[in-house]
Structure 1
Amino acid sequence: MKWLFSACLLLLVNLAHAEQFVRSHALVMHGAPALAADFAHLPYVNPNAPKQGSITHEAQGTFDTFNPFIVKGNPAAGVGQIYDTLLSANQDEAFALYGLLAETIDLPADRSWVRFNLRPQARFHDGEPVTADDVVFTFNLLMEQGAPFYRAYYGSVKSVKAESKLSVRFDFVDGSNRELPLILGQLPILPKHFWQQHDFAKADLTLPLGSGPYQISEYDTGRSVSYSLVKDYWGKDLAINRGRYNIATINYEYYRDSSVALEAFKAGRIDYRLETSAKDWATAYTGPMFDSGKVHTDVLKNENPQGMQGFVFNTRREMFKSRDIRKAIGLLFDFEWTNEQLFYGAYKRTESYFAASELAATGLPEGAELALLSPFKEQLPKELFTTPFSLDKTRGDGNVRPQMREALALLKGAGWQLDKGKLVNAQGQQMHIEFLLYQKSFERIVLPYTRNLQKIGISTEIRLVDVSQYVNRVQSFDFDMVVGSFGQSSSPGNEQRDFWGSKAADHVGSRNIIGIKDPVIDQLIEAVIAADDRDALIAATRALDRVLLWSYYVVPQWHLNAWRVAYWDKLKRPARNPKYGIGLDSWWVE
């Protein structure tokens, strides 16, 4: 009996030291997943949709690589469709991911690590199984040779280890980054046996190997690329995929100019178009094909935060280091006139980096948000605590004299003054701003803005370049001002480091194109990432939003809480689109 007692004691000791975790079919940021483990399909798809036909999309510019994971080159449109990720999103939930390559996920209460248990049937397109070694290889490859974005995104990962052929574990620096398990779930898995034989860092047209629903079937360098549905796709019968990936061939045709692409759509060479121009939406979608119903034009409402689009300052430029200078230049953008004269009154002015959501800062800071901001009172503008943020509004008649007077007062305080009609600094140098663009259609929007700047003595120039040159200049921070956008989800987290974090400011290719290096913003970003419930996330995001707004890093533009889509009648879509997406992968061809 003594040996039995010893064995039982050893078992109890082992159990006491075993790590406790919950095994689940899904991960959510807060709360519980909406879909049970035995769900049949996503709620917004048609599970009986036929798998056939083709669709042709437009793409802008050109492409010279099939590797979207590195800084070099311009990756082909749609190339992400050849890869599967560990988990896949339900676009009806703010941030919920369900098993794809991973069948189940193990997560402890403190979120200090996560384990993904892979499906044994998962296969790459060459028939080789997807293993834990592939996951480890992918993570290390992206961290070592991938774009700088990945090092910021996965910065809190301490280690990754294949525990078995189908089990991989990520350990974290600590458990404060609640989003990190979900972020890792979005990791596209690359085949180790393929990339060990190829140069990952080389931006070329090597045909990559994936495990996703599509594979590259044809391409004409820089002009077009086609993807074909993988007939024996390993994941076609999974509940997360049922009713998705219904179109047999997906084509992308490249156009240098969006106006040419619009005419190609009307001629039937393009099947689907997401329209971003209010003018074109109001005036160009007319004619017999629209009247007859051969082409549909739908406005699909969404519940996404609208993020921020604006004229972006490069604060690495000496003249833009001053907050007052940035504010002054922003005063001269006449949104009210622009919206009425150019956009047919279609848009709302964006006054938050998380516009149209509960995450947007409003009124004065209070409660938990005020508690986050108060320790930084000496480092922040006084008005942040006393005045609700708002953008100046013009009369909309093109007269911006009040804004000119205020702008000149701010510029004078920053060391600039008018001299014979020119705005000059102490050295007599005139302020000059180059607006870097790649879309010709944006010239008509920028021109009225530059005329207002010229009225206060600023020299301006609009530089229109091709997409490749534009990307290279922005990635190397070689610009004064560009039109930039910072998309946001309903559950912000790690990506905020790459948008605004100090460490990302000097990384070529990072999304901190503004060049922000602010210790207060860094700490607020970490508060967003560490938020342990929805209320804490809202408070931290509002605090971050408020500091960004009062820093005048961009001249905010506009937003619309909907997608404007046009498509030929051969395309059909489910009865409704998901709350947070267009759900194009659930459409089909009849």
Structure 2
Amino acid sequence: MLRSALAALLAVSLLTPASFSFAASAAEVPTVTGLSLYDQPALKPGFTHFPYVNPEAPQGGELVRASVGSFDSTNPFIVKGTPASGLMAVYDTLLASNPDEPFSMYGLLASGVRLDPDRRWMEFDINPGARFHDGTPVTAEDVVFSFRLLRDEGQPFYAAYYADVTSAQALDDDTVRFDFAKANSRELPLILGQLPVLPKHYWANRDFTRPTLDKPLGSGPYRIAAIKPGQRIVYDRVDDYWGRDLPVNRGRHNIARLVFDYYRDQTVALEAFKAGNLDLRIESSASNWATAYDFPAAEQGFVKKLLVPDGQPAGMQAYVMNLRREKFQDPRVREALNLAFYFPWLNDNLFYGAYKRTRSYFENSPMAAGGKPGPGELALLEPYRDQLPDAVFDKPLPIAEPEDLRPRLRKALGLMRDAGYEIQNGQMVNRETGKPFTLEVLLYDTQFERIVQPLLKNLKRIGIQGKIRTVDVNQYLNRLRSFDYDMVIATFPQSINPGNEQREYWTSAYADQPQSRNLIGLKNPAIDALVDDLIRADSRQALDTAARALDRVLRWGFYVIPQFHLGATRIALWDKFGHPQPSPEYGLDFDAWWVDPDEGPRIEARQHGG
């Protein structure tokens, strides 16, 4: 909603001469309903729904899914506590992403957007019909409150996301303005579009930083209906949801009830799915996918399997070494540990040949570095030549897979000797201190143990003693937050348009922040600068070049042991759901699924033994 003439007049009368030019230019900037990172949004004003959805999808039914571990909080935005699954369905954001475009967003809470052509500021007009679940209007003041609350008291990545926002102000009840630093990320306007808006009147007298099991107030399509702490959380669709008929929502949020049941581990959850206690399962195990779905209900056609291609980069799933531990400081040690991971054996013997080896932090995308650096990469890398290994500049990238493990382990032994270690009585020990080199891999899911054991077996062959420590999810998260681990298995997900989140992954500012995603503990000025180059990229070509330069430096640092990727999502489901076909290219949108009114009762009768 545009500002009233009186409000605009009062705003202008209070402006200083220095800021008056911004007000004048704001009046000249057109109001739009969608934004895209580099080009124009694919969907024109007046579109009625996302093209991939079924706008006439049936309404109703229930979707029951599994979560592993436990939860003790319904606040997903803070450092403390273990939040329940599904909580973001309670909240609306200013804009909504279209999963069928690389990075375009359209109006949700915001009915209009104005973006300065020089990207120094933007304004959002709040939809006059937007309401929280208690009927209170959503205002610009709620937006400013949410921005400041998340930036100052939320998880560290919010501060990283919003680092280039210099001010946020409510110009009136319906208009909020953000001003940006001179050099800012091109994606910053879209990142602000992802801002979840919290009700100021609800949180004003509550401690936002403490975990809670209250049912929080939001404005989104679902509200919490029931909570059984640590065991189950249930969401009901909001019947009078204010945004139900918006173009970004039509054909979505069709299922009336969403249920997340908690299980000790994936093995128990799989058995619950087979028994009909769960409706849908995202399968992470290649072995299960190949062998575990031959039970009677599947053979009778009540259960089916889907393999949905993923148009996003594969990202990096890896064993992550904690550089805060002295033993991992030497890059020769890290490279030796990399050499002990032998993917071909795993893929042949455990994964039924399903996976590809991950090499790049931007795997399966044009942002993955290859060969030696080209002129564009060299221009970004050259200022940091004295801070980077020579190999970054003049050698092809590492991770080649010899056919035999033996030459890999011979090279690993040589690297460990060069780093000051030797084998004594079958153990790798530090020559100066006599202290054995040992490591512990911290896990929360027994499913990963079979992946870790071959690595530890190979390390034992060169005298390195390793062990697995599997703990419950809460203990795992507490140790992760305090960086109390040698090695963990973690994923650094990537989108086709990486940006501000890279700060939290790799930069010095986040190395010591509890619950940051800088799990490695990186503190490297060259990497900090390359992350800034990526974030400031002003074209697709510049972004790809900056990502390749960053990828190259991270890979030559041997900070992680890359694992594997599939490039698709495996879904097993009881066949009572309808869903878009094909799925949107850049994201799996379960919000666009529905329960088939004809098949649902038949399948549910089979699930429950009818």
Normalised by the length of structure 1, the TM-score is: 0.96
Conserved? CA contact 1:23–1:104, under 8 Å:
yes
**Match of 2:412?**
407
Deviation at 1:204, TM superposition (A): 1.6
2:562 is matched with which residue: 552, 556, 564?
556
2:591 is matched with which residue: 573, 585, 590?
585
Deviation at 1:16, TM superposition (A): 9.8
1:99 is matched with which residue: 94, 97, 107?
107
Question: What secondary structure sits across from 1:71 in the alignment?
Answer: coil
Query: In structure 1, what is the Cα distance between the partners aligned to 2:557 and 2:75?
Result: 36
Deviation at 1:65, TM superposition (A): 0.5
**Match of 1:569?**
575
Match status 1:430 vs 2:419: no
Match status 1:420 vs 2:425: yes
**Match of 1:498?**
504
106 and 175 in structure 1: CA distance in 2 versus 1, 3 angstrom threshold: farther
2:541 is matched with which residue: 535, 543, 553?
535
**Match of 2:178?**
170
User: Which whole-Å deviations, capped at 9, do the CAs of 1:543-571 have from their partners, x for residues lacking one?
Assistant: 11111111111000000111111111111
Query: In structure 1, what is the Cα distance between the partners aligned to 2:385 and 2:330?
Result: 19
Question: What secondary structure sits across from 1:516 in the alignment?
Answer: coil
1:213 is matched with which residue: 204, 213, 221?
221
Query: In structure 2, what is the Cα distance between the partners aligned to 1:420 and 1:575?
Result: 61
Conserved? CA contact 1:145–1:200, under 8 Å:
yes
Match status 1:157 vs 2:165: yes
User: Which whole-Å deviations, capped at 9, do the CAs of 1:151-199 have from their partners, x for residues lacking one?
Assistant: 1221111110000101001111224321111111101000000001322
**Match of 2:448?**
442
User: Which whole-Å deviations, capped at 9, do the CAs of 1:41-93 have from their partners, x for residues lacking one?
Assistant: 10110000011000100001001000001111100100110000000000111
User: Which whole-Å deviations, capped at 9, do the CAs of 1:297-341 have from their partners, x for residues lacking one?
Assistant: 011112110000000000000010111110001100111101110
Normalised by the length of structure 2, the TM-score is: 0.93
**Match of 2:515?**
509
Match status 1:73 vs 2:78: no
Query: In structure 1, what is the Cα distance between the partners aligned to 2:22 and 2:174?
Result: 26
Match status 1:238 vs 2:243: no
Query: In structure 2, what is the Cα distance between the partners aligned to 1:17 and 1:88?
Result: 27
User: Unmatched 5+ residue regions in structure 1?
Assistant: 1-9
446 and 159 in structure 1: CA distance in 2 versus 1, 3 angstrom threshold: same
**Match of 1:142?**
150
**Match of 1:248?**
256
**Match of 1:30?**
38
User: Which whole-Å deviations, capped at 9, do the CAs of 1:371-429 have from their partners, x for residues lacking one?
Assistant: 1112222222222222221313143xxx6221121111111111111112111111100
* Deviates further, 113-122 or 375-384: 375-384
Conserved? CA contact 2:439–2:486, under 8 Å:
yes
Match status 1:387 vs 2:392: no
**Match of 1:356?**
364
Conserved? CA contact 2:274–2:295, under 8 Å:
no
One-letter identity of the residue aligned with 1:424: V
Match status 1:336 vs 2:341: no
After the TM superposition, which residues 233-382 of structure 1 pair with which residues of structure 2 at under 5 Å, given as runs?
A: 233-382=241-390
Query: In structure 1, what is the Cα distance between the partners aligned to 2:53 and 2:375?
Result: 41
**Match of 1:225?**
233
Q: Please, what is the CA RMSD of the aligned residues?
A: 1.5
User: Unmatched 5+ residue regions in structure 2?
Assistant: 1-11, 597-610
**Match of 2:206?**
198
**Match of 2:490?**
484
Query: In structure 2, what is the Cα distance between the partners aligned to 1:16 and 1:362?
Result: 44
One-letter identity of the residue aligned with 1:436: L
One-letter identity of the residue aligned with 1:583: D
Query: In structure 2, what is the Cα distance between the partners aligned to 1:68 and 1:394?
Result: 44
Query: In structure 1, what is the Cα distance between the partners aligned to 2:144 and 2:465?
Result: 52
Conserved? CA contact 2:33–2:113, under 8 Å:
yes
Question: What secondary structure sits across from 1:184 in the alignment?
Answer: helix
Deviation at 1:15, TM superposition (A): 8.1
One-letter identity of the residue aligned with 1:412: R
Question: What secondary structure sits across from 1:377 in the alignment?
Answer: helix
User: Which whole-Å deviations, capped at 9, do the CAs of 1:116-146 have from their partners, x for residues lacking one?
Assistant: 1110000000000000000111111112211
**Match of 2:528?**
522
Deviation at 1:367, TM superposition (A): 2.8
**Match of 1:181?**
189
Deviation at 1:27, TM superposition (A): 1.3
Conserved? CA contact 1:300–1:577, under 8 Å:
yes
- Alignment length (residue pairs): 577
1:58 is matched with which residue: 66, 70, 74?
66
One-letter identity of the residue aligned with 1:66: T
**Match of 1:5?**
none
Query: In structure 2, what is the Cα distance between the partners aligned to 1:95 and 1:135?
Result: 22
Question: What secondary structure sits across from 1:24 in the alignment?
Answer: coil
Query: In structure 2, what is the Cα distance between the partners aligned to 1:436 and 1:541?
Result: 30
Query: In structure 2, what is the Cα distance between the partners aligned to 1:328 and 1:516?
Result: 19
One-letter identity of the residue aligned with 2:98: N
1:45 is matched with which residue: 41, 45, 53?
53
One-letter identity of the residue aligned with 1:420: N
Deviation at 1:288, TM superposition (A): 2.8
Query: In structure 2, what is the Cα distance between the partners aligned to 1:543 and 1:446?
Result: 30
* Deviates further, 371-380 or 229-238: 371-380
User: Which whole-Å deviations, capped at 9, do the CAs of 1:13-45 have from their partners, x for residues lacking one?
Assistant: 988971253421111111110000111110110
2:125 is matched with which residue: 113, 117, 125?
117
**Match of 1:3?**
none
One-letter identity of the residue aligned with 1:101: L
Query: In structure 2, what is the Cα distance between the partners aligned to 1:120 and 1:287?
Result: 52
Query: In structure 2, what is the Cα distance between the partners aligned to 1:574 and 1:148?
Result: 35
Question: What secondary structure sits across from 1:219 in the alignment?
Answer: strand
Question: What secondary structure sits across from 2:388 in the alignment?
Answer: coil
User: Which whole-Å deviations, capped at 9, do the CAs of 1:523-543 have from their partners, x for residues lacking one?
Assistant: 111111111111111111111
Conserved? CA contact 1:42–1:90, under 8 Å:
yes
Query: In structure 2, what is the Cα distance between the partners aligned to 1:335 and 1:97?
Result: 39
